[in-house]
Every structure is written in structure tokens, then in C-alpha cells.
């Protein structure tokens, strides 16, 4: 059974282009895998930034945590378990100020844990979340994906690879400000070409 994890990070709600695309991608995947389980995670609903309390909570043995540490670690564990359970990640990536939304960065920070999602070896870091596929729906008003000012897509590709997820496909609705209708139509056609 295929397990899909849909992650949305746009603050625009129903007006979001990236949410529209992640929805279409999930529809396409579900058409190909009717028995698929879909878990939805809207990171705009509150993913705390990591801090000293988080560091203290997730890197001490579970049986030594106090109540506050146990709660902090449990939330981070839940996010990580959603990724571990998924075969396919569908990630909405709106580009804000040339980078990833803070909420999405918080999610990445929560799941990037030494010994849990990656390890350091004598040959360098090794991701532990292997065997997964990621489809990223990028949207932007003015930033062209792959341009010298696109700091969002290279960062996300790098972080996914760092965690062991190297099968990454991008669908881009970029530079929407110039021709929104044509750009969105092109992106939706890209979705239809994705092998489900």
C-alpha cells in the first residue's frame, strides 16, 4: 500500500498556487494508487522553531526527559514518523523572499536529527530516509526556478538528499507575476506528465 505525505507551507490558504498543485499531484497519485493512504501536514498551523529546549529534549534518552522535554520530543518524533511512513512526499514550496517559508524550514529542522534521519560516517553524512520519492510543487511571483536568486529549490533538494531522499521531481509555477494563466497551465501539464 502506498503512503503519501502531503506537506503544505503557503500562508495564502485557498488562493495558494502551491496548494493547488500539491492537491493535483495527490489526485494523480491516488488515481494510480487507489488504495493509497494520504497524510496531510499543513506546516502553517504551527511548527515551532528549534531552540535550546528542543536540543535538550531530543538528544537525551527518553527515560531521562522531564514532562516538558517529553512533549517537545514527542512532537518532533511525530513529524519524523510521518516521513518514515511515507513512500512519496508531496511538498508545496512557495518561494518567499527568494527562499523557503520559515514554517517549512521549521519542519525541516524538526526532522533533521542526527541518529534518527542522518548519521555521520567516516565517508561523510549519510541519510537514513532512503527509498522515498519527493515531488515538489514550487510557486513564485517573480523568482525563476534555477536562477541565481532561487535559494529555495537548491536548499530543499540538498536537505532532502542529506536525509537520503534523492528521487526528487520539481513542478514549477514560477514567475507567476508575468503570465499567471499560462504559467499555471504549464505547471498543471507538468503534473500530468509525472509518472504516478
Q: Which of 42, 19, 22, 41 is nearest to 86 (CA)?
A: 41
Q: How far apart are CA 44 and CA 74, in angstroms?
A: 19
State the pairing for strand pair 167-173/133-139: parallel
Cell of 187: 505547471
Cell of 42: 499543513
SS3 of 82, please?
A: helix
Cell of 90: 508531496
Q: ∠92-187-156 over CA atoms, to 5°?
A: 35
Annotated binding residue 147? no
Annotated binding residue 18? yes
Annotated binding residue 17? yes
Residue 174: left if φ>0, alpha if ψ -120 to 50, beta else—which one? beta
Q: Which of 132, 105, 118, 94 is nearest to 50 (CA)?
A: 105
Sequence ranges of the binding site for FMN: 10, 16-18
Sequence ranges of the binding site: 10, 16-18
Amino acid at each position: 500500500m502506498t503512503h503519501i505525505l502531503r506537506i503544505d507551507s503557503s500562508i495564502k490558504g485557498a488562493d495558494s498556487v502551491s496548494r493547488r498543485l500539491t492537491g493535483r499531484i495527490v489526485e494523480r497519485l491516488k488515481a494510480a494508487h487507489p488504495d493509497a493512504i494520504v497524510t496531510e501536514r499543513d506546516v502553517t498551523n504551527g511548527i515551532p522553531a528549534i531552540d535550546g529546549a528542543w536540543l535538550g529534549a531530543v538528544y537525551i534518552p527518553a527515560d531521562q526527559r522531564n514532562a516538558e522535554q517529553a512533549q517537545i520530543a514527542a512532537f518532533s518524533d511525530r513529524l519524523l514518523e510521518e516521513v518514515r511512513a511515507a513512500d512519496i512526499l508531496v511538498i508545496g514550496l512557495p518561494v518567499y523572499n527568494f527562499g523557503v517559508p520559515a514554517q517549512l524550514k521549521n519542519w525541516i529542522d524538526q526532522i533533521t536529527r542526527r541518529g534518527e534521519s542522518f548519521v555521520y560516517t567516516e565517508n561523510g553524512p549519510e541519510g537514513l530516509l532512503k527509498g522515498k520519492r519527493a515531488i515538489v510543487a514550487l510557486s513564485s511571483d517573480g523568482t525563476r526556478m534555477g536562477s541565481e536568486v532561487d535559494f529555495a529549490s537548491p536548499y530543499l533538494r540538498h536537505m532532502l538528499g542529506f536525509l537520503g531522499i534523492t528521487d526528487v521531481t520539481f513542478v514549477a509555477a514560477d514567475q507567476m507575476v508575468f503570465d499567471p494563466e499560462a504559467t499555471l497551465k504549464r505547471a498543471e501539464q507538468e503534473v500530468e506528465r509525472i509518472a504516478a
